[in-house]
Amino acid sequence: MSHKLDVLISAEEIQQRLDELAEEIKKDYEGKELTLICILKGGVMFLVDLARRLPPDSIELDFMDVSSYGDEFKSSGVIKVDKDLKNPITNKHVLLVEDIIDTGRTLSYLQKHLISQKPASLKFCTLLDKPERRVVKDIIPDYIGFTIPDKFVLGYGLDYLQKYRGLPYIGVMMQE
Ligand code: IMP
Ligand code: MG
Protein backbone atom coordinates (compact mmCIF):
# COMPACT_ATOMS: atom_id res chain seq x y z
CA MET A 1 0.00 0.00 0.00
CA SER A 2 1.39 3.42 -0.86
CA HIS A 3 0.47 6.51 1.13
CA LYS A 4 0.03 10.11 0.15
CA LEU A 5 -0.08 12.89 2.74
CA ASP A 6 -2.26 15.98 2.52
CA VAL A 7 -1.80 18.92 4.91
CA LEU A 8 -4.89 19.31 7.08
CA ILE A 9 -3.50 21.87 9.55
CA SER A 10 -0.30 23.72 8.74
CA ALA A 11 2.58 24.29 11.17
CA GLU A 12 1.76 28.02 11.19
CA GLU A 13 -1.90 27.38 12.04
CA ILE A 14 -0.88 25.09 14.91
CA GLN A 15 1.56 27.63 16.38
CA GLN A 16 -0.98 30.45 16.07
CA ARG A 17 -3.69 28.42 17.78
CA LEU A 18 -1.25 27.53 20.56
CA ASP A 19 -0.74 31.25 21.25
CA GLU A 20 -4.51 31.60 21.71
CA LEU A 21 -4.86 28.49 23.87
CA ALA A 22 -1.95 29.55 26.10
CA GLU A 23 -3.58 32.96 26.64
CA GLU A 24 -6.85 31.28 27.66
CA ILE A 25 -5.07 28.89 30.03
CA LYS A 26 -3.01 31.70 31.57
CA LYS A 27 -6.16 33.69 32.23
CA ASP A 28 -8.07 30.73 33.68
CA TYR A 29 -5.27 29.69 36.03
CA GLU A 30 -4.05 33.13 37.01
CA GLY A 31 -2.42 33.10 40.45
CA LYS A 32 -2.54 29.29 40.59
CA GLU A 33 0.02 26.59 40.13
CA LEU A 34 -0.76 24.12 37.39
CA THR A 35 0.38 20.58 36.65
CA LEU A 36 0.35 19.66 32.97
CA ILE A 37 0.07 15.93 32.41
CA CYS A 38 1.20 14.78 29.01
CA ILE A 39 -0.21 11.59 27.62
CA LEU A 40 2.65 9.90 25.81
CA LYS A 41 3.59 9.59 23.13
CA GLY A 42 1.17 11.58 20.99
CA GLY A 43 0.82 14.57 23.31
CA VAL A 44 4.53 15.34 23.55
CA MET A 45 4.93 17.99 20.82
CA PHE A 46 1.78 19.77 21.98
CA LEU A 47 2.89 19.68 25.62
CA VAL A 48 6.32 21.11 24.84
CA ASP A 49 5.03 23.93 22.66
CA LEU A 50 2.26 24.76 25.15
CA ALA A 51 4.49 24.67 28.24
CA ARG A 52 6.93 27.08 26.59
CA ARG A 53 4.11 29.64 26.39
CA LEU A 54 3.09 29.41 30.08
CA PRO A 55 4.75 31.06 33.12
CA PRO A 56 7.66 28.74 34.01
CA ASP A 57 7.51 29.47 37.74
CA SER A 58 3.96 28.12 38.09
CA ILE A 59 3.98 25.06 35.84
CA GLU A 60 4.89 21.48 36.71
CA LEU A 61 5.07 18.68 34.17
CA ASP A 62 4.34 15.00 34.53
CA PHE A 63 3.86 12.16 32.07
CA MET A 64 1.67 9.12 31.64
CA ASP A 65 1.78 6.45 29.01
CA VAL A 66 -1.29 4.41 28.25
CA SER A 67 -2.01 1.90 25.56
CA SER A 68 -5.27 0.70 24.21
CA TYR A 69 -5.57 -2.57 22.44
CA GLY A 70 -6.71 -2.15 18.89
CA ASP A 71 -5.49 -1.90 15.34
CA GLU A 72 -3.35 0.94 14.04
CA PHE A 73 -6.32 3.18 13.30
CA LYS A 74 -8.60 2.82 16.33
CA SER A 75 -8.52 2.15 20.05
CA SER A 76 -10.55 -0.71 21.47
CA GLY A 77 -11.44 0.83 24.80
CA VAL A 78 -9.38 -1.64 26.82
CA ILE A 79 -6.79 0.65 28.36
CA LYS A 80 -3.62 -0.24 30.18
CA VAL A 81 -1.40 2.18 32.13
CA ASP A 82 2.18 1.59 30.95
CA LYS A 83 3.66 4.47 32.91
CA ASP A 84 1.93 6.23 35.76
CA LEU A 85 2.56 9.70 37.22
CA LYS A 86 5.79 10.34 39.09
CA ASN A 87 4.33 12.84 41.58
CA PRO A 88 1.07 12.84 43.53
CA ILE A 89 -1.62 15.19 42.17
CA THR A 90 -3.74 15.37 45.33
CA ASN A 91 -4.91 19.00 45.83
CA LYS A 92 -3.22 20.13 42.62
CA HIS A 93 -4.76 21.84 39.63
CA VAL A 94 -4.31 19.39 36.79
CA LEU A 95 -4.61 19.89 33.05
CA LEU A 96 -4.38 16.77 30.94
CA VAL A 97 -2.72 17.36 27.57
CA GLU A 98 -3.80 14.95 24.83
CA ASP A 99 -3.10 14.75 21.12
CA ILE A 100 -6.57 13.74 20.00
CA ILE A 101 -9.94 12.68 21.37
CA ASP A 102 -11.56 10.12 19.17
CA THR A 103 -14.00 7.69 20.81
CA GLY A 104 -13.28 9.32 24.19
CA ARG A 105 -12.52 5.97 25.81
CA THR A 106 -8.93 6.81 26.74
CA LEU A 107 -9.96 10.08 28.35
CA SER A 108 -12.89 8.49 30.14
CA TYR A 109 -10.55 5.94 31.68
CA LEU A 110 -7.98 8.59 32.59
CA GLN A 111 -10.64 10.80 34.15
CA LYS A 112 -11.59 8.03 36.61
CA HIS A 113 -7.97 7.16 37.25
CA LEU A 114 -6.99 10.77 38.05
CA ILE A 115 -10.13 11.82 39.94
CA SER A 116 -9.51 8.98 42.40
CA GLN A 117 -6.36 10.86 43.48
CA LYS A 118 -8.44 13.91 44.43
CA PRO A 119 -6.83 16.75 42.48
CA ALA A 120 -8.01 20.31 43.31
CA SER A 121 -9.30 20.47 39.72
CA LEU A 122 -9.04 18.43 36.56
CA LYS A 123 -9.47 19.76 33.04
CA PHE A 124 -8.74 18.41 29.57
CA CYS A 125 -6.86 20.05 26.77
CA THR A 126 -6.67 18.35 23.41
CA LEU A 127 -4.99 19.50 20.24
CA LEU A 128 -7.55 17.73 18.07
CA ASP A 129 -11.13 16.66 18.59
CA LYS A 130 -13.04 14.25 16.36
CA PRO A 131 -16.56 14.62 17.82
CA GLU A 132 -18.22 12.51 15.10
CA ARG A 133 -16.42 9.45 16.43
CA ARG A 134 -17.37 9.92 20.09
CA VAL A 135 -18.63 6.81 21.87
CA VAL A 136 -18.34 8.12 25.45
CA LYS A 137 -20.73 11.04 25.03
CA ASP A 138 -20.02 12.86 28.29
CA ILE A 139 -16.36 13.45 27.44
CA ILE A 140 -16.17 17.16 26.66
CA PRO A 141 -12.69 18.72 26.48
CA ASP A 142 -12.24 22.11 28.18
CA TYR A 143 -9.69 23.36 25.63
CA ILE A 144 -9.68 22.26 22.00
CA GLY A 145 -7.07 23.22 19.42
CA PHE A 146 -9.00 22.15 16.33
CA THR A 147 -12.18 20.22 15.66
CA ILE A 148 -11.55 17.88 12.74
CA PRO A 149 -13.63 15.57 10.57
CA ASP A 150 -13.57 11.77 10.88
CA LYS A 151 -10.27 11.15 9.14
CA PHE A 152 -7.11 9.39 10.26
CA VAL A 153 -4.50 12.08 10.91
CA LEU A 154 -0.81 12.04 11.72
CA GLY A 155 2.09 14.32 12.52
CA TYR A 156 2.87 16.78 15.34
CA GLY A 157 3.03 13.87 17.81
CA LEU A 158 0.46 11.60 16.18
CA ASP A 159 1.72 8.43 14.60
CA TYR A 160 0.94 5.91 11.97
CA LEU A 161 2.62 2.65 13.07
CA GLN A 162 4.90 4.74 15.33
CA LYS A 163 6.20 6.88 12.45
CA TYR A 164 5.47 10.47 11.32
CA ARG A 165 5.37 11.95 14.85
CA GLY A 166 8.03 14.52 13.94
CA LEU A 167 6.05 16.27 11.21
CA PRO A 168 5.49 19.94 12.13
CA TYR A 169 1.97 19.85 10.65
CA ILE A 170 -1.11 17.63 10.86
CA GLY A 171 -1.48 15.49 7.78
CA VAL A 172 -4.17 13.22 6.44
CA MET A 173 -3.22 9.92 4.97
CA MET A 174 -4.89 8.98 1.73
CA GLN A 175 -4.84 5.26 1.06
CA GLU A 176 -4.53 4.45 -2.57
P1 IMP B 1 -9.85 7.36 21.96
O2 IMP B 1 -9.65 6.55 23.19
O3 IMP B 1 -10.63 6.63 20.92
O4 IMP B 1 -10.40 8.74 22.22
O5 IMP B 1 -8.46 7.44 21.24
C6 IMP B 1 -7.50 8.26 21.60
C7 IMP B 1 -6.17 7.77 21.06
O8 IMP B 1 -6.29 7.05 19.82
C9 IMP B 1 -5.32 8.97 20.75
O10 IMP B 1 -4.62 9.40 21.90
C11 IMP B 1 -4.44 8.45 19.63
O12 IMP B 1 -3.32 7.82 20.18
C13 IMP B 1 -5.28 7.44 18.91
N14 IMP B 1 -5.89 8.04 17.71
C15 IMP B 1 -7.19 8.29 17.49
N16 IMP B 1 -7.41 8.85 16.30
C17 IMP B 1 -6.18 8.96 15.72
C18 IMP B 1 -5.73 9.50 14.45
O19 IMP B 1 -6.49 10.00 13.60
N20 IMP B 1 -4.38 9.44 14.24
C21 IMP B 1 -3.51 8.92 15.13
N22 IMP B 1 -3.89 8.43 16.32
C23 IMP B 1 -5.21 8.44 16.62
MG1 MG C 1 -2.55 8.95 22.23
Residue 176 is predicted with a pLDDT of 60
Residue 4 is predicted with a pLDDT of 85
Q: What is the pLDDT along the chain (176 residues), one digit of tens a residue?
A: 567 899 999 999 999 999 999 999 999 999 999 999 999 999 999 999 999 999 999 999 999 999 887 665 666 667 889 999 999 999 999 999 999 999 999 999 999 999 999 999 999 999 999 999 999 988 899 999 999 999 999 999 999 999 999 999 999 987 66
Contacts of 8 (CB under 8 A, 6+ apart): 148, 151, 153, 169, 170, 171, 172
- Separation CA 39–CA 63 (nearest Å): 6
Q: What does DSSP assign to residue 160?
A: B
Residues with CB under 6 A from ligand 1: 42, 68, 75, 98-107, 152-154, 158
Residue range 11-150 forms a domain whose CATH class is: alpha beta
Residue 102 is among the residues annotated as catalytic for this protein: yes
Read off the pTM: 0.93
Residue 76 is predicted with a pLDDT of 65
Cis check: omega of the bond before 92, within 30 degrees of 0: no
Q: Domain limits of the chain?
A: 11-150
Residue 67 is predicted with a pLDDT of 87
**Which residue's alpha carbon is at the smallest distance from atom 22 of ligand 1?**
158
Cβ atoms of 146 and 128 within 8 Å: the answer is: yes
The closest of 14, 21, 2, 17 to 141, measured between CA atoms, is 21
The residue to mutate among 8, 44, 100, 106, having the most atoms of ligand 1 within 8 angstroms of its beta carbon, is 100
Residue 64 is predicted with a pLDDT of 97
Phi, psi of 116 (to 5 degrees): -65, -20
Distance 124 CA to ligand 1 centre (A): 15
Residue 2 is predicted with a pLDDT of 60
The residue to mutate among 158, 169, 170, having the most atoms of ligand 1 within 8 angstroms of its beta carbon, is 158
How many secondary structure helices (H) and strands (E) does the chain include? 3, 9
Residue 138 is predicted with a pLDDT of 87
